[in-house]
Structure formats: structure tokens, C-alpha cells
Amino acid sequence: MHIVLLMRKIEMAKIPNYFRRENYTERIRPFIDTQIIKVIVGQRRVGKSYLLYQIMDEIRATHSNADILYINKELYEFDSIKNYEDLILYVHKQKRNQKCYLFIDEIQDIDAFEKALRSFFAEGDYDIYCSGSNADMLSGELATYLSGRYVEFKIYGLSYTEFLQFHALADSDETFVKYYKFGGLPYLVNLPFDEAIVANYLRDIYNTIILKDIVGRYKIRQVRLLNDLTVYLADTVGKLFSANSISGYLKSQRVDMLPKTILEYLNYLNNAFLIKRIQPADIQGKQLLRIGEKYYFEDLGIRHSIRPFRPNDIGQVLENVVCHHLLLCGYSLSVGRFGDKEIDFIAEKAGERIYIQVAPTLREPKTRDREFDNLLNIKDNYPKMVITLDAEEGVSSQGINQIPIRKFLLEQKINIK
């Protein structure tokens, strides 16, 4: 019964092709049939539901009679499940076998859901998977009630390689333009590459994130101020600033917003995975700094639905693409600072480190000198590279790599942490 119900929901979604995202399933696979709750988090529409479908397929492949129970809080059918008590009653009523594979999509929409998960975990008859679109779910509710009993998997929009696969496109300059203009949300495979059509779809997703994941969750009344702040972030992707500087700028635009409110709203936007906060770090002392930070968008298509792409945005957009890909590859990121010099990204993983500068072109000697000089001022022996739109690549006499961005996106190994 439950398997038939699941297949009906997949058919209703009208997906023409089923694309596996093996980078994620290979990480989750070892936890199938373990007494650990699998928590899948990420921005709305990055593909969390379809990853759950993939895991169900994995389970069916080895357990033909598996009792799979799927609850999706975005479907009207499950609207009656409003709190943890409703959830417990529904699951106990629907469960068929002693062992139940329980999948709950957008679980943060169920009040006090963590109490239900703790109850199911204590019963010991469930293999539990859930998804959510807010980081507070982990730092607050789950950490308090289920510390040590869950494992988190962060899901991102499509990598460039996945974008090529999903859309059956070959790598080219034109394809890369589509990638950074339209973004990496999987559902775009069902839409034409038409700016107006895609913008309408992405704007609806943006409004859902703002109204449901932020305004509704945090009881915000000043919705216009939140939107003004988001527009400001879309205009200043990759710029280093503080809450005080944002407040000053908005005030010059006749928008009165206190630094304290700005910090709260930035945290809400970050928790909803709409933006990603990158903090600065002192390269010499290696410690994180508390002055200033940068913000990048989880999905550039959504950014462009807020602030349409303009050719002079290309430097910011390339930085955002590189940031997204480094996160996909499992790196922790910070902005490098030493004196008045800045390095776009310090990428660290498993004891290794890479210093990265991003520039549209190095064909102007002044630009080349600036980007290379910043890297040459770093006196350790970790790899250093400049990523550009230029077709030229190679290694400078000082050992700095110049890498075309498409080559970087296709060859830098993804190893999601």
C-alpha cells in the first residue's frame, strides 16, 4: 500500500527522467538499517525529496517487502499532522510490519517533531529519514533531544557536472552562461531556458523561503525590511561588510534598520539556506576574525530573480560559483585577510589548504599583478590558484596556477563532507 502510494506521488510530480545523485547516496548508504536518524537539510527545491526517493529505491532493492512509510508535509494529504502527537498517532496507525522505514519530508513544519523522533528512536522499530529546510532544526530542536543519535547530510543545488547531465548539454561557454544565469535547481529540467519563465518559478521559491521558512518561523513583522536586506545582499555578493555598514547604507536609502535587527535577519536567511555566510580569517595567525563577513547565494538563479543579472556582475557571480563548488567538494571556507590584502577563499579539508583568487580575466597587467601579488604575499607552501573566465591556463614562475573556471568545475573532485 505504502509503496503504491509513493509511486503515485512520483508520477504526480511528472518527472521525465530519474537522475541519481550518487555523491549523496553513497554517503547515506552505510547508514541504512542503522539506529541513527538520517537528517537531510538544504534550501527548498534543491532535491531533498528526490534524494529520499533514491534512498527508498535502495531499500526496495534489498528488501522487497519493506514497510516504507512516506510523509510529505508539503502535500495537502498530510495537513492534519500538525504536531508531534499527530505524527505519532499517524505512524502507529499506518505501520504494517515490526520494522518500518520512516521518511518525513519538511519535518520542521510539524510542531515539536523532535519529541516524536525521540519516541520512535526509543521504540527501536524504525529506520528514520527526515528532511528540513532550516538549520535551526539541527542547532536547536534535534541537538537538544537527540544529541548523538542523528547524522546530518547537507544537500546543495546541482554542480556544473550535474547540470550538464540533467539538461543533456555539452560543456561550452554558452552552457556555462546558462548555469550561472539560471542556477542549479533540479526542477529547471522541466522548464525552457527562458528568462521570464525561469524567473517567475525562482521568484515563487524565493517568496516561499521568505514567507514560510523565515517570516512564519521567526514571527517577523517587518517583511519589507527583510526584503530590502535581501536585495542589498543580491547587489553585494562577495563584498566584505559589517552590520553597521549595511545599516548605514540602508539609512542612506531611507531604510531605517538597526544593526541588531540586521544581524538577526542575516542569521535567519543563513538558517533558511538562502545565503551562505563566509567569515574572514587572519592568514598569519590562522584565527577567525569577528570584523566583517561575506555572503553568497545558495542558488544564483534565485539571486537573479531578486536582482536581474547585469554584465558588470560577472566578477561577483564567478565568486559565487566557485564558493558553491568548493562547498560541494567538502571544503570549509574563510576569507583570507592580512593587513590590507584579501584572498577570496581559503579552502580547507582533511588537513589540506588551497588559497584561491577569482577574477573574470587576467589579460590586463594591472589585474594580473593585483591577483598574483596577494597570493605571493602568503609565505607558506600550500597550493595557490587564480580562477578566471580566460581560456589560458598554466603555472606561473612563482608556482601559482591559473585555471579556467570550467576546467576547475569539471575536474575539482566533489567529496561532500
How confident is the model at residue 282, as a pLDDT?
85
How confident is the model at residue 249, as a pLDDT?
86
How confident is the model at residue 341, as a pLDDT?
85
Full set of structural domains in the chain with CATH: 2-154 (3.40.50.300), 310-417 (3.40.1350)
* pLDDT greater than 80 at residue 141: no
C-alpha cell at 391: 581560456
Give the pLDDT confidence of 332-389 residue by residue, as tens digits. Answer: 999 998 878 899 999 999 999 999 999 999 999 899 889 999 999 898 889 999 999 9
Give the pLDDT confidence of 161-208 residue by residue, as tens digits. Answer: 999 999 999 999 999 999 999 999 999 999 999 999 999 999 999 999
How confident is the model at residue 140, as a pLDDT?
67
Give the pLDDT confidence of 304-328 residue by residue, as tens digits. Answer: 999 999 999 999 999 999 999 999 9
**Sheet containing 280-282: order of strands:** 280-282, 332-338, 341-349, 352-359, 384-388, 401-404, 394-395
Number of C-beta neighbours around residue 27 at 10 A = 15
Give the pLDDT confidence of 344-358 residue by residue, as tens digits. Answer: 999 999 999 999 999
| Residues contacting 318, CB < 8 A, separation 6+ | 180, 358, 359, 360, 387, 389, 405
Q: What is the pTM of this model?
A: 0.91
